[in-house]
Structure 1
Amino acid sequence: MENKEWYFEYEIQKNRPGLLGDISSLLGMLSINIVAINGVDEGRRGLLLLANDSRNIERFESILSTMDTIKVIKLREPHVLDKLAVRHGRYIQRDADEKNTFRFVRDDLGILVDFMAELFKQEGHKLIGIRGMPRVGKTESIVASSVCANKRWLFVSSTLLKQTIRSQLIEDEYNNNNIFILDGIVSTRRANERHWQLVREIMRLNAVKIIEHPDIFVQNSEYKLEDFDYIIELRNTPYEEITYEVVNQNDQLQGSEFGSFDF
């Protein structure tokens, strides 16, 4: 049978020496391998497991139910967030009300890059928005994630090095394996109709599209926030407010921080 990954997370009820060793021994007896292990929250551990027979996982779960030293939190096929929690030792902060919104601070750039790279590796259409104030690291994180995912990135609109507003792609750029990057402010405030025709073409591609400043993008286009599969928020500090007051007050983006083309 083919090996299959599982994610096992437990909460320690009665901490005692040798507890992890007992669990490891049990897994060994059931021919279940430990791929990775880490603390993922206070009093919790997460393990990535590899088993070639799901019946052994069922036996493992049955035995765990008789143990009063731990409480099983999760035993399932691993989600992206599970793998990242084990890799980095903690879960990514997720909005309690908006389940598709994930929050990071600048000190978390390594986790953010890993998270986006995992999303970029998935096939098919995916629309991702990323919010954040100027110079917080949005574009750099997107590019780094594309490199980690071994994907080619294309700026459709951007201000990373110089202002970019594209109105056409060459033939080999229409590739579902590419990552298409748009700046919502540049596209909605500075682009012409030819650019928007290209944006609509790209939106129809079965590929990953990531849009900086998605709130400005939806304010000035036919697209809605509900169209986004993921919203990522990146702040300098946990309590920093992400605001577009300067942009809304000055449609020409002149004489302001946003007017410096460094978003």
Structure 2
Amino acid sequence: MMHKEWYLEYEIKLNRPGLLGDISSLLGTLGISIITINGVDQGRRGLLLKTDNMEKVGRFENIVKQLEEIEITKLRTPQLRDRLAVRHGRYIKRDLDDRKTFRFVRKELGILVDFMAELFKEENHCLIGIRGMPRVGKTESVVAASVCAHKKWLFLSSTMIKQTVRSSLFKGEYDSNYIYIIDGAVSVKQTDMKHMQLIKEVMTMPAVKVVEHPDLFVENSEFTLEDFDYIIELRESEDQQITYEQVSKNHLFNNDGFGFFE
């Protein structure tokens, strides 16, 4: 018998002792199993449900509409944001104007890593851009998410420990199980045509690619922000501005003060 998962979110209009127990009992009576439950926002609860019959879900919805205590705000097939909201107890912030942009602050690295790990499990092409100031945790989060997703990672360009600029891959590195990481601020400054040719080649592969500093990357390449499936913004705090003057300065010099691109 096929079981289907549902995401239920409801807003508490009139809180009273035993309300959650009553909702849980109603679901159980109708033969709907609760997989996970958590608060997902102030005054809201989210539940992952499982049932073998969608008519049972419709029956539950009709009964709840008669109640004054709660109001159903979402009842649908679970999306990634729904699963993470129940798992972490809060929703990922999403840009209202650009729906593919998601915002995090440094104290939310746990949910960010979890979010990216789920994206990294995609088996087809997925292009992710990540914005943020230096030393905010961009690269570390990408690597941690790769580990969580049981994927290998490969730097095509980076300054994480020392400058890395790849102009070719070994045979075994052409593998959809890799997460290909590109530092856009480094790659666009390269005069090595082999490096940019490699970038173009990897972009056509059915694999996950992550580009740090995507805005700098698209300014000096044939790619555009429209090519990205997701844009992630990572800040130290909600009000931190992401600017590129300091980013460019940091990528011009290594820790010893010698120019990378002399």
Could you say whether these structures have the same fold, taking a TM-score greater than 0.5 normalized by the shorter chain as the test? yes
Q: Please name the residue that 2:18 is paired with.
A: 18
1:3 is displaced (CA, Å) by 1.9
User: What is the letter of the counterpart of residue 104 of structure 2?
Assistant: F
Residue pairs, 1:1-263, within 5 angstroms = 1-190=1-190, 192-246=192-246, 253-254=252-253
C-alpha change, 1:251 and 1:75, in structure 2 (3 Å) is closer
- Structure 2: gaps spanning 5 or more residues: none
CA distance in 2, matches of 1:26, 1:96: 35
CA distance in 1, matches of 2:172, 2:193: 23
Which ranges of 4 or more aligned residues in structure 1 deviate by more than 2 Å?
254-261
Q: Secondary structure at the match of 1:7?
A: strand
C-alpha change, 1:121 and 1:252, in structure 2 (3 Å) is closer
User: What is the letter of the counterpart of residue 169 of structure 2?
Assistant: L
Q: Secondary structure at the match of 2:189?
A: helix
CA distance in 1, matches of 2:257, 2:141: 19
Q: Contact between 1:189 and 1:251, CA under 8 Å: does it hold in 2?
A: no
Q: Percent identity?
A: 61
1:190 is displaced (CA, Å) by 2.9
C-alpha change, 1:240 and 1:46, in structure 2 (3 Å) is same
C-alpha change, 1:53 and 1:163, in structure 2 (3 Å) is same
1:163 is displaced (CA, Å) by 0.9
Q: Which deviates further from its counterpart, 185-194 or 212-221?
A: 185-194
Q: Contact between 2:35 and 2:48, CA under 8 Å: does it hold in 1?
A: yes
Q: Which deviates further from its counterpart, 135-144 or 56-65?
A: 56-65
Q: Contact between 1:189 and 1:252, CA under 8 Å: does it hold in 2?
A: no
CA distance in 1, matches of 2:183, 2:258: 13
Aligned CA RMSD, in angstroms, stands at 2.1
Q: Which deviates further from its counterpart, 148-157 or 170-179?
A: 170-179
Q: Contact between 1:134 and 1:258, CA under 8 Å: does it hold in 2?
A: no
C-alpha change, 1:219 and 1:32, in structure 2 (3 Å) is same
CA distance in 2, matches of 1:257, 1:57: 63
1:208 is displaced (CA, Å) by 0.8
Q: What's the TM-score once normalised by structure 1's chain length? A: 0.93
1:258 is displaced (CA, Å) by 10
Q: Contact between 1:246 and 1:258, CA under 8 Å: does it hold in 2?
A: no
Q: What's the TM-score once normalised by structure 2's chain length? A: 0.94
Q: Secondary structure at the match of 1:190?
A: coil
User: What is the letter of the counterpart of residue 89 of structure 1?
Assistant: G
Q: Secondary structure at the match of 1:114?
A: helix
CA distance in 2, matches of 1:34, 1:16: 21
